[in-house]
Each structure stands twice: as C-alpha cells, then as structure tokens.
A and B are shown apart, each in its own frame.
Chain A
Amino acid sequence: MSKEARPSWDSPMQFVLACVSYAVGLGNVWRFPYLCQMHGGGGFLIPYLLMLILEGIPLFCMELAIGQKMRLGSIGAWMAISPYLGGLGIASVVTSMYLCLYYNVINAWSFWYLFHSFQSVLPWAECPVDVNRTGYLEECEVASSTQYFFYRETLNISSSIDENGGLHMGQALCLLLAWIIVYLFIVRGVKSTGVVVYFTATFPYVVLFIYLIRGVTLHGAWNGVKYMFTPKLEQLANPQTWINAATQIFFSLGLGFGSLIAFSSYNHHNNDFEKQAVVVSLINSGTSVFASVVTFSIYGFKATFNYESCLERMRMLCLNSFDLSEESISVENVTAWISHLNITHPESFAAIASKIEHCSLEAELDTAVEGTGLAFIVYSEAIKNMPLSQLWSVLYFIMLLLLGMGSMLGNVTAIITPLADIKLLSHYLSSESINGLVCLLCLLLGLGFTSRSGNYWFTIFNEYAATLSLLFIVFIEVISVCYVYGLRRFERDIEDMLGHRPNWYWKVMWAVVSPLLLFSLFIFYIINYIQGGTPTYQAWDKDLGRSVVKEYPVYGQVFIALLLLSALSCVPLAALHSLCRRTQRGTQIRQHRHA
C-alpha cells in the first residue's frame, strides 16, 4: 500500500507569508488604533510589547511546533497528544466555523464599497435628494451622508434585532463573490494557498505605505499623529489597559483557531519554526503600529476638516445674523467676534444662541471609533474629502479586502485540514469537493447576515463567538502540552525537529507565565459578563440618525449562551466520549480473554 505524501509548502517563505497574511488582518487596522487612543497613546506600546513577549510569541511558537510535529490538522494533532483531547480540536473547528460565517460578511461589505467607488461622485459623499428635490432625505440630514450610506444603502438595517426583513440582494451577491474567491484560493489546498499568499501578504503593505505618504501630507494630519503619540502614562495605572493589551495580542495573532496548526502541518519536519514564530509576531505588531500611524493621520485630517467647517459655519452665522461685511470676520477670529457680539448686541445674540456650537479640535480628536464603524464610516468620510477621492477609495477597499481575504485563508484552512485528515471523507470525496462543500455551507448559512437585521446578528457573533471560547481553548492547549503531554517530551520533540532544545525563556513562558495570564483573562471575561447584566447592543434609529442602546431579547441571550457553550462543551464531552469508548473496549477485551 502506498501512502500519498502530505502536500507541503513549496518553500518556507510561503509558510511565513501565509502566517503573516493570516495574522495581519482587519484587527490591526481597526482595533489597535482605537486601543492606542483609549489607553494613553504612545504609552500603550509598553503593555502591548510586554504582553507580546509574555504570551504572544510563546503561544504562537507552541502552536506551530504542535502542527509541525504531528503533521495533522487540529483534531488529529490533539488526539495524538492525548486521546481524551480530541474535543479541543473539535472546539477549534467549531470556533473557526463561526468565524468563517461572519468574517466573510465584512469582505462582502468591502466588495460593495469597492464596486461603488467606480463612480464620478462617491455615493457616500452626498445625500440623495428627496422627491420634491427641495432638500435631502430626512434620515440623511439627521445622520451624515457616510452613515446613511452604510446603514441604509449598504445594510438597509432595521430598527431592532426583532425586525427581520428580506435579504439585501446586493449584499448577497457580494457575499457569493467573496466565497467564490475564497474557494478559488483554497481549492487545491496548500498548493493554491501558497501562491496566493505572495500577493495577499505583501500588497497591503504597499497600500499602507502609499496611504502613509498621502496621510501625513494631508492638512491637519499632524494634529492626529501628535495626539496619538503623546503618551499619557497615567493610563498605565489602569488595569483595563493591561487587560486590553493582553487580549489584543492574543486575538490579533489568531491563536486557538487551529489555523496555525493546520498551516505548520504542511511544513517539512526540520523547518525552523522558532525563528519564524518570532518574525511573524514582530511583523504583526509592527504592522499594528504602522497602521495606527496611518489611521491617526487620517483622524487628524478629518478632525481638522470638521473643526474648520464648524468655524466656517459659526462665521457665516454671525455674518448673516448681524449683516456684517464678509471681510470683517475671518476663520481665525470667529471666537473673538462671538464674545464681542455677545457683549455689544445681547438681544440679537440671544436669538441665535441656540445655533452657536462650541468648535473644539480636541473634542473632534477624542471621538474614538473602532470596528466596522471606523473602517466603513470614519475612513470613508475622510476619503470623500480628499482630492481624487475615487482613487483613494479604491486603494483603501482593496487593502481591506486583501487583509480580510488573507485572514479568511487561515480560517478556512483550519476547517478543511482536519476534514481532509478524516480517512472516511477523503475516500469518498476528492479534496476539491470537500473544500467546495465547506464553502457552499458557509455561504448558505452566511446569507442570514445579509438580511435587514443581519448586522445585529453579526455583532453577536463578533462579540461572543470567538472570544471566551478561544481563551479557554488556548489555556487548555498550554496546560495539555506542558502537563499532560509533558514539557520534557515536548522539548525532546523540538530538539528532534530543530536540532536544539528550547531555552529557558520558552519553558518558563509555556509552563508558568502564559497559563497564568490566560487563566486571569478568562476569569476577567467571565466576571465582566456576569457584572455587565443583560447584554445590550447598538440599534440604528433612523429618526434620530444615530445608534441607541437596546437590550437583547430572550432568544438573543439564549443564542449567545448556545454559541459559547457549543464551543466550550466540546472539550469535556469528547473527553467523556473517549473515556466511555475505552472502558467499553476494555470490558470487551476482558470478555474476550475470559471466553
């Protein structure tokens, strides 16, 4: 019987690029700059880099080592470590499945925005006119044109999670396209993925560099960058800063999904994964800092633009109410004039007092946004004010797409690798068919996110599907490797692969520091959930033109609990199942012996 050799990467470079492409994702662009701003600017780098050394690099290296040694996907690898730990692999696959379902919806939105950038006037730059052509649509007036485009034209969002609507056909088409492209990238497994990652890992840096140059040359960009990098070291005393740094490192590297185990299972036995782990982790963190410089220069531009528009509006208000000549008030002395007019014409001033706004650059810079709001609303607002906005829009959404697609490669590989390892499946179906079926299933389930209330379900998945479960999974991973499999045995395996034993740094981190950190994060999350009371979400109110806080209905809360439990319970359930099978087999063998 001849065994078909396991497919492998064409070169170690492909593997490194695949890991970079997977780890460098949307979180580097839209979560890290937010955290930086919330937790003291430049000072946040201290806990961030410390956590990278304490938990990021060691855990990353550990997952690569497991995959490279076992040469199987997550389920097979954990079964090999211990027959009772198959559930850990299953939990990883389940979590990856949830992630795949909702992550590609973001790519669908990026496609939607990208295709809409090919117009002479960007559709989110202006409000659409109403029926009489006397003014703009009310919802757009109350909100802004970029918010209107995102909530109404892109999502067609309903006002609460209870109101389902039909599917948004444009979104459904874009989701279909996103899944077809993912299938194209993974259809031949590592062979096709290995070629694609040359592009998906490197091109985002090209775009980021172009945006860096564009960003720092924008008017007012320097305000944003200065604001971000001024360290507010008192934030370091806030425990939330350290917790956020730890969770950001953890989620940014994509640990626990099984993607890293899957990728490294295709490596040659002697590949130097230790060095590669350090390199990829450093690249990931470096990209976060790089992206936040770009984001903050864009923030600075937007804040300055809004501030100067505010001043201009106040100037017009004063000129029009007091019929002064246009040259008398300039943008610089508006505030002085306002106080002057308040003193000299108190009655007329009182009449317009309600319309006076207090223009503040600080207040504009303080509006920190993260997540889809940053990527699709704030950025597109800044882009529409740039010269040649269509070009910048296309570049930006291509970058978002590459980052998202690169991460999707890892997510889907985490599912198809364990499936391909199952002998029964690969006997009946070719790998192309298995991959196609996985993509089809994810597409059909993901269509639910394109309905009118889809964004609310998306938020549920985003916040609950892959947070607590991952912490639990990686914690069990570290404990199993160090104490069930045995740290000495693991050391010997690494020596076998690399030629030298891991030094004390790795051993201390794996055995003591990382498990402690993970356990405390896990406890913190649970306390947070319990203390937070009923979970709430932001619902878009079209009359007010902004989001309002609403509580999840009962079925929503039950769904959240199911999401969490379905991944967490895999570990104990599979262990129990394994135990039952062994005791059964044990009794069977004893029966045979007696017979």
Chain B
Amino acid sequence: MLAGVLLLIFLPPLVAKDLCKDSQDGFKVRLSIKTALGEEAYDWNESEMFLFRSTLAYAMRKETKNDTYDITNILVCNDTPRVSFMFVVTSPGQPDQLIPKEQVEKAVRENKHRINNAFLLSDMTLEFLGIPPTLSAPIIYDTEPWLIVFGVVIGAVAVGIVALLMSTVSKKRRAKEKAAGLSEEDEGIVKENGTALSSFGGKEGAYNQAFSNDDRFTKL
C-alpha cells in the first residue's frame, strides 16, 4: 500500500523527466544573461524557470487558441550552469503525448518578441537552438533619404552657377553700355589737349606696345 502510494507520488516527475530527456520534439534553450545585462543581471533560479515555463505556455495558448495549456504542460530537463536546458511541451488533454516539434517552433517564432521582453533579452542572448530568429523587416522609404540630400545639394549648386553666369552676362552688358555711352558723351565735354579726361574713367591707361616684353621667346 505504502509502496503504491510512493510510486504514485514519484511516477509523474519520473515519467516527465523521461519524456523530456529522450524526446525528439524538444528544443534546447540557452540564455546569456550576464552578457546581455552585465551589472544588472538577475540570478537564474526556480522563479525565473517558472516565468519561462509560463511564457511558453502563453505562447502555446496563443498559437493553438487553446486556453487549456498550463505550466504543467511545459517540461524542463538538463539544466546546466550555463543556463541552458531542454524543454518539451505535452498536450493538455493527454499528459504523455508530446506536441510535435513544428508546432512548438511556430508558437515560439510568432511570440519570440514577447518571450524576449519577459526576460529583458534579445534574439542573440535568448537562443532556441534550431529555431532561427525572425529578423526585423528592412525599413522601406517612400523617397530614399540620400536622394533628398542629393536634391538639396544639387539645387544649391545649380542656383550658384546660374547666379554666377547671370552676373557675368550683366557685367559684360554693363561694360558694353558704358563703352557705347562714353562715345556719345565725348561730344559735349570740354576737351583738354585733344583728349577727354573722362575717357580714362574706367580704364587703367592704354597699353603701349613699345614697352612690351614680347621677346621672351627663345630664338634658335
């Protein structure tokens, strides 16, 4: 009688351990808490394990839309000092039936973000070996940001060039007008020694070829 009672008490965890250890449907989990959190790392203890099992149960509930999943359906074994262990998920209706690997994988992938956040970890530091992380989607821009900066710069440069060219053109026009204007003014101004002083207004003097230094070319 006593033996039977003892057997009844110790059988479920023994069976559970066997289910977990020998199973093909389990996953190895690895947490790198010290690496992720450094000074603020928490210790891995029974309560944290409880949290883990409950988040997995939550993930199974969400994925299968079956509210009967409970923490007792998540079996854990092979605990190491690394903070890595194996887990399997049993079906809520039949405790000795394991949920197949693919379903568990799907549940974990869909809810990885929530599981990570529960432990303040990331995809790098909370690893489910065999389940690749879903990387965040690349940001799609309406207009690439580099085109915007390019547009600003090329617009500014184009304005600069146009302004420079316009000022050159207007300078030339003004010089032409002045030359035309001077030849009209000559008639009405008092001339001294036959030369109008105003004709020297804009120029720096006339270039006298007699004093130029043109013979700087080598003669052979």
Contacts and interface: CB of A to CB of B under 8 A. Distances in A.
A587 interface: no
Contacts of A118: 145-146, 148-149
Contacts of B216: 69-70, 80
B157 A133 contact: no
Interface in B103-146: 132-138, 145-146
A184 B145 contact: no
A547 interface: no
Contacts of B147: 115
A128 interface: yes
A520 interface: no
B86 to A, nearest CB: 12
B138 A128 contact: yes
Given A115-B149, A319-B82, A432 B168 contact: yes
A155 B173 CA distance: 46
B191 interface: no
Chain A interface, >50% SS class: helix
A189 B36 CA distance: 60
Interface in A190-228: 192
Size band of the A side of the interface? Answer: 35 or more
B217 A432 contact: no
B162 to A, nearest CB: 10
Interface residues of B, number: 40
A177 interface: yes
Given A133-B135, A133-B137, A184 B164 contact: yes
B207 A3 contact: yes
B165 A82 contact: no
A341 to B, nearest CB: 14
A111 B154 CA distance: 11
Contacts of B168: 188, 432
B82 A324 contact: yes
A213 to B, nearest CB: 26
Contacts of B132: 134-135
A119 B144 CA distance: 10
A181 B82 CA distance: 60
Given A80-B217, A115-B150, A180 B82 contact: no
Interface string B148-162: 111001100110110
A425 interface: no
A36 to B, nearest CB: 34
Given A82-B220, A177-B153, A432-B165, A134 B135 contact: yes
A128 B161 CA distance: 39
A317 to B, nearest CB: 12
A69 B213 CA distance: 12
A537 B114 CA distance: 51
Given A116-B146, A323-B81, A180 B138 contact: no
B153 A184 contact: no
Contacts of B45: none
A129 B140 CA distance: 13
Contacts of A115: 145-147, 149-150, 153
Interface string A133-175: 1111000000000000000000000000000000000100110
B82 A485 contact: no
Interface in A93-123: 111-112, 114-116, 118-119
B164 A188 contact: yes
Nearest to A129: B135
Given A3-B212, A134-B135, A181-B157, 8 more contacts: A80-B217, A128-B138, A136-B135, A176-B154, A316-B32, A320-B30, A323-B80, A326-B35
28 contacts: A80-B218, A82-B218, A83-B218, A114-B149, A115-B146, A115-B149, A115-B153, A116-B145, A118-B146, A133-B134, A133-B136, A134-B133, A134-B134, A135-B135, A176-B154, A177-B150, A177-B153, A177-B157, A180-B158, A184-B160, A187-B161, A188-B164, A192-B164, A316-B35, A319-B82, A323-B80, A324-B81, A326-B82
Interface of B: 30, 32-35, 80-84, 132-138, 145-150, 153-154, 157-158, 160-161, 164-165, 168, 206-207, 209, 212, 216-218, 220
Closest 8 CB pairs of A and B: A325-B81, A115-B146, A323-B80, A326-B34, A323-B82, A115-B149, A129-B135, A134-B132
